Amino acid sequence: MGPRIGRRGFLGVALVAVSLAVAGCGASAPAASGTGSASGSGSAAKITLQETGSTLLYPLFNIWAPAYHSSHPQVSITTDGTGSGTGISQALAGTVQIGASDAYLSSQDVTQNPGAMDIPLAISAQVIAYNLPSVTVAHLKLSGPVLAAIYTGKITKWNDAQIQALNPGVSLPNLTITPLHRSDASGDTFIFSQYLSFTTPSWDSSVGYGTGITFPSVPTALGEAGNSGMVTALNSTVGGIAYVGISYSGSLAQDHLPYAELLNKSGQYVLPTPQTIDAAAAALVPKTPPSEALSLIYAPGASAYPLINYEYAIVTQQQASTQQATAVKAFLTWALTSGNSPTYLNQVHFVPLPAGIVQLSENQVAKIH
């Protein structure tokens, strides 16, 4: 897939080619002053929208932003991969117009910030990757309870009997496991810890889930910032295991780092494919409320991949100006329609939103003013 991308990108008035490699270095520019349409002619006032947050969603924003700019040259979009926690907090504070997040807003966030909205833009997934050069099988089998035991320090070796029982006939090394977790407030942590909570009661009662949980103390554990940090650390850590957003599977492949088949709610081991992601979405998406705050983790169904999620734009209804509100609405509407094309989503292994969810998201976009 695409090359490993950097942490921060600036997509300015110059048209940038549509590619995962577009992320460069630069500072966010302030919104232009003046009035005018955000989707009209070349005489319209120019405006910059700022996005920050999820590193899982970051590669897609780095594809969307230049594509949108090519058809709306008066609108520039800055992007920044800072983690879902930062995306949420900065969107709620009004520091940025769009906060990208793999996690929906907490009930406390909603109560304290009337008018804040979770708007799904696409459906993504997460993989459990590992660094075991001596293991030749394409994909080890892992389960929620075994992962919980690894991340609590109850399983410390790769040839532990519990891992071996899931992988009969596979020669597993007597190698210490290094569990990697996110050190930043992360939607990926939200997704991963939900899987552990939903599959393992002891994890749920002692650790729980969230964007910034306190991981159990494990002597070999490593904390890393962002998905790129997780991939880099895993590549240099033989015996390591990490949860990584599927948009970074190209980087994993470049580093020859495989990922696991995961045990789903129906007792089947499945890999993340468009078909298994769609199957999981089909089981839970119909339950999506108008607010669109819904976990898609651990869906029922024999072919359902258990680690999928909505990728959210966190946006407040009240924007700083009419021009800004118009620009945000126009971009999000584009992302939900033209932007949900396989042309963009396939590059990061996301799947498009079902028509019913697009309508719910458009209903929320219409509230922005």
Q: What's the pTM?
A: 0.87
**103 and 191 in contact (C-beta within 8 Å)?**
yes
- Same topology, domains 8-124+311-365 and 126-287? Answer is yes
Separation in Å, CA 111 to CA 106, 115, 116, 117, 175: 9, 9, 9, 11, 47
Task: Write the DSSP assignment of 129-187 as a string of letters.
Answer: EE--TT--SS--EE-HHHHHHHHTTS--BTT-HHHHHHSTT------B-EEEEESS--H
Residue 114, helix vs strand vs coil? coil
**Angle ∠(248,51,319) on CA atoms, nearest 5:** 150
Provide the residue-wise pLDDT of the chain in tens; the chain has 369 residues: 333 333 333 333 233 333 333 333 333 333 333 333 344 444 468 999 999 999 999 999 999 999 999 999 999 999 999 999 999 999 999 999 999 999 999 999 999 999 999 999 999 999 999 999 999 999 999 999 999 999 999 999 999 999 999 999 999 999 999 999 999 999 999 999 999 999 999 999 999 999 999 999 999 999 999 999 999 999 999 999 999 999 999 999 999 999 999 999 999 999 999 999 999 999 999 999 999 999 999 999 999 999 999 999 999 999 999 999 999 999 999 999 999 999 999 999 999 999 999 999 999 999 999
Tally Cβ neighbours within 10 Å of residue 170.
Answer: 14
Q: How far is it, in rounded angstroms, from Cα 98 to Cα 60?
A: 14
**284 and 310 in contact (C-beta within 8 Å)?**
no
What confidence tens digit (pLDDT) does each residue in 39-79 have?
A: 444 446 899 999 999 999 999 999 999 999 999 999 999 99
- Which CATH number is associated with domain 126-287? 3.40.190.10
Decide the pairing of beta strands 308-316 and 98-101.
antiparallel
Q: How far is it, in rounded angstroms, from Cα 310 to Cα 292?
A: 9
pLDDT for 45 equals 82
Fold adopted by 8-124+311-365: D-Maltodextrin-Binding Protein; domain 2 (3.40.190)
What confidence tens digit (pLDDT) does each residue in 261-309 have?
A: 999 999 999 999 999 999 999 999 999 999 999 999 999 999 999 999 9
Sketch the domain layout of the chain as residue ranges. 8-124+311-365, 126-287
